[in-house]
Structure 1
Amino acid sequence: MLDGREGFVVAPRTAAPGRPWLWRTEFFGDFAQADRALLAAGWHLACFRLSDQYGCPGAVARMGRFQSYVTETFGLARRPVLLGLSRGGLYAFNYAATYPERVAALYLDAPVLDICSWPGGRGTGIGAAREWAECLAVYGLDERTASDAGVSPLDRIKPVAKARIPILLVAGDADIVVPYAENGALLAERYSLLGGPIETIVKPGVGHHPHSLSDPAPIVAFILRCSQAPDGP
Structure 2
Amino acid sequence: MRVTNWRGYECIEFELDGKEGLVVLPKVFAEGRPWVWRAEFFDAFDNADMALLEKGFCRAYYRQNDRYGCPDAVEGMKKFQSYVTRMFGLAEKAIIAGLSRGGLYAFNYAAAYPDNVAVLYLDAPVLDIRSWPGGKGEGVGGEREWQECLTAYGITEEQSITAQVSPLNKVEAVAAARIPIILVAGDADDVVPYVENGLLLAERYRELGGTIETIIKKGIGHHPHGLEQPEPIVSFVIRQCIAPKM
Task: Work out whether the TM-score is over 0.5.
Answer: yes
Moved more, 52-61 or 8-17: 8-17
Q: Indicate yes or no: 2:128 matched with 1:114.
A: yes
Tell me, in whole angstroms, the C-alpha distance in 2 between the residues paired with 1:147 and 1:134. Answer: 17
What stretches of structure 2 of length at least 5 have no aligned partner?
1-14
| Higher-RCO chain (CA-CA 8 Å, sequence separation at least 6) | 1
1:105 maps to 119
1:136-175 equivalences under 5 Å are 136-175=150-189
Secondary structure of the structure 1 residue equivalent to 2:53: helix
Aligned mates of 2:119, 2:34 — CA distance in 1: 12
TM-score (normalizing by structure 1): 0.98
- Structure 1 residues 69, 142: closer, same or farther in 2, change over 3 A? same
- Please state if 1:24 is matched with 2:38: yes
The root-mean-square deviation of aligned C-alpha atoms, in Å, is 0.9
Structure 1 unaligned regions, length at least 5: none
State the aligned residue count: 231
Among residues 110, 115, 130, which one is paired with 2:144 in the alignment?
A: 130
Alignment of 1:83-94 (within 5 A): 83-94=97-108
Letter in 1 for 2:61: C
Write out aligned runs for 1:156-195 (5 A).
Answer: 156-195=170-209
The separation in 2 between residues aligned to 1:229 and 1:194, in whole angstroms, is 24
C-alpha offsets along residues 51-86 of structure 1, whole Å, 9 cap, x if unaligned? Answer: 100000000000000000000000000101000000
- The alpha-carbon deviation at position 39 of structure 1 amounts to 0.8
Distance 1:65 1:194 in 2: 30
Contact 2:31 2:242 in 1 (8 A): no
Q: What are the Cα deviations for residues 97-156 of structure 1, in whole angstroms up to 9, with x where unaligned?
A: 000001001000000000000000000000000000000001011111011100000000
In proportion to residue count, which structure has more strand?
Answer: 2
AA aligned to 1:39 is L
- Distance in 1, matches of 2:31 and 2:195, equals 39
CA–CA distance in structure 2, aligned partners of residues 225 and 188 of structure 1: 20
The structural deviation recorded for 1:31 is 0.5
Mapped partners of 2:182, 2:63: distance in 1: 23
Q: Kindly tell me: are residues 20 and 168 of structure 1, through their superposed partners in 2, closer, same or farther at Cα, counting changes over 3 Å?
A: same
Aligned twin of 1:66: 80
